């Protein structure tokens, strides 16, 4: 299968039916780059305006509404030795009465800078870092925002997310993961960007450690498989992704999608699927910062493989 090397010349702040930058076939691999959330590239040059600028879209030959696009994140690696983050916890993730103290602690600062060590695979706050001086955190690079053109000609801001993916800010979208998106427009039209060198659950300071990325991904197509919400798969888990507000509704979307997955592809009846999920399911919090929040419903693959046929 061919590997395309694609160097972006422009970016998008919406995910929509924009003219493709490259047409690829199922099975193809693409090596490309993403600027950071503020539009800074690997040389810290302002390549494009801020706001989760996306590389893409990539047109996948044969992709039609009602298919599923398979995207494997083969490589995901910061492309520079610096990153930045929000200063304090976001005002929506704490009790409202704690907001003034956070605002005071932030003051006029807008960002904190991080040094990324690509050999040791760690990040540390730039000096002076107070109590965190010298603390090295292991990198765990991820894509904050990626997905496909939404239905009906919509162009959706890369600040938010939906059935098409988008700004899910889920740390589980890391190297080695396979993501599944519903094809909602001709060619799928895949976009990617908003790399984080590291991010906790919830993106609770409003950012991860934001940085530019080198990315290699491959695509495939499942013809005629209609899914409602993004899905994913890593070594341990199948997972489904619900993007909405409040978190309760994210859970509903993700749980319903997992129920569909188990009752269709795994041919479980509703009662059996309910018991497996009820006793063994895990949920991750993607983000509780963006206009739409993200919760992820996870089922252990080992468990599903152990089912009597």
Q: Which of residues 155-194 bind its own copies (CB under 8 A)?
A: 155-157
Interacting stretch for its own copies, rule CB under 8 A, among 25-33, 86-94, 178-186, 218-226? 86-94
Helices 270-280 and 247-264, axial angle in degrees (round to 10): 130
Interacting stretch for its own copies, rule CB under 8 A, among 3-11, 187-195, 205-213, 216-224? 205-213
DSSP symbols for 82-122: EEEE-SS--TTSS-GGGHHHHHHHHTT---EEEEEETTTTE
Least Å distance, CB 214 to its own copies, is 21
Binders of its own copies in range 240-299 (CB under 8 A): 244-249, 251-253, 255-256, 259, 267-272, 274-285, 288, 293, 295
SS3 category, 203: coil
Site string for its own copies, 100-139 (x = CB under 8 A): xxxxxxx-----x----------x-x---xxxxxxx-x--
Residue with tokens 């530019």: 212
- The answer to whether 308 contacts its own copies (rule: CB under 8 A) is yes
Residue number, 43 or 309, with CB nearest to its own copies: 309
Least Å distance, CB 20 to its own copies, is 17
Least Å distance, CB 42 to its own copies, is 21
Residue number, 15 or 183, with CB nearest to its own copies: 15
- Maximal C-alpha separation, the chain: 61
Cα–Cα distance, 39 to 262 (Å, whole number) = 40
Least Å distance, CB 296 to its own copies, is 10
Q: Determine the size of the site formed for its own copies (CB under 8 A).
A: 92
The residue from 8, 14, 116, 294 that contacts its own copies (CB under 8 A) is 14
Least Å distance, CB 14 to its own copies, is 5
- What are the tokens at 270? 């509703």
SS3 category, 267: coil
Binders of its own copies in range 25-84 (CB under 8 A): 51
Least Å distance, CB 165 to its own copies, is 16
207-to-73, 201, 202, 275, 287 alpha-carbon distances in Å: 21, 11, 9, 36, 10
β-bridge pairing 3-5 and 29-34: parallel
Least Å distance, CB 309 to its own copies, is 9
- What are the tokens at 285? 């919090």
Strands (E) in 61-134, as ranges, are: 68-78, 82-85, 112-117, 122-125
Residue number, 216 or 253, with CB nearest to its own copies: 253
**Omega before 2 within 30 of 0, i.e. cis:** no
Residue 33 host element (H or E): strand 29-34
Residue number, 30 or 247, with CB nearest to its own copies: 247
Residue number, 31 or 87, with CB nearest to its own copies: 87
């Amino acid at each position: 299968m061919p590997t395309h090397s694609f160097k972006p010349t422009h970016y998008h702040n919406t995910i929509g039916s924009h003219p493709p930058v490259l047409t690829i076939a199922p099975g193809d691999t693409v090596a490309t780059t993403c600027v950071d959330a503020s539009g800074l590239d690997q040389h810290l040059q302002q390549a494009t305006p801020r706001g989760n600028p996306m590389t893409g879209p990539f047109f996948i030959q044969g992709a039609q509404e009602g298919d599923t696009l398979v995207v494997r994140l083969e490589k995901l690696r910061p492309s520079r030795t610096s990153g930045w983050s929000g200063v304090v916890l976001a005002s929506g993730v704490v009790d409202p009465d704690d907001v003034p103290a956070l605002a005071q602690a932030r003051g006029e600062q807008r960002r904190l800078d991080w040094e990324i060590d690509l050999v040791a695979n760690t990040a540390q706050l730039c000096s002076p870092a107070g109590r965190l001086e010298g603390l090295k955190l292991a990198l765990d690079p991820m894509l904050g925002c990626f997905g496909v053109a939404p239905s009906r000609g919509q162009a959706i801001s890369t600040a938010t997310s939906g059935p098409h993916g988008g700004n899910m800010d889920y740390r589980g979208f890391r190297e080695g993961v396979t993501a599944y998106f519903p094809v909602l427009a001709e060619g799928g039209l895949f976009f990617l960007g908003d790399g984080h060198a590291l991010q906790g659950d919830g993106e609770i300071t409003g950012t991860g450690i934001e940085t530019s990325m080198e990315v290699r991904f491959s695509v495939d197509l499942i013809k005629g498989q209609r899914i409602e919400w993004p899905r994913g798969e890593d070594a341990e888990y199948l997972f489904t992704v619900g993007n909405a507000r409040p978190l309760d509704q994210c859970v509903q979307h993700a749980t319903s999608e997992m129920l569909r997955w188990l009752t269709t592809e795994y041919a479980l009846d509703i009662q059996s699927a309910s018991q497996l999920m009820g006793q063994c399911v895990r949920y991750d919090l993607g983000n509780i910062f963006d206009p739409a929040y993200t919760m992820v419903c996870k089922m252990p693959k080992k468990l599903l493989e152990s089912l009597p046929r």
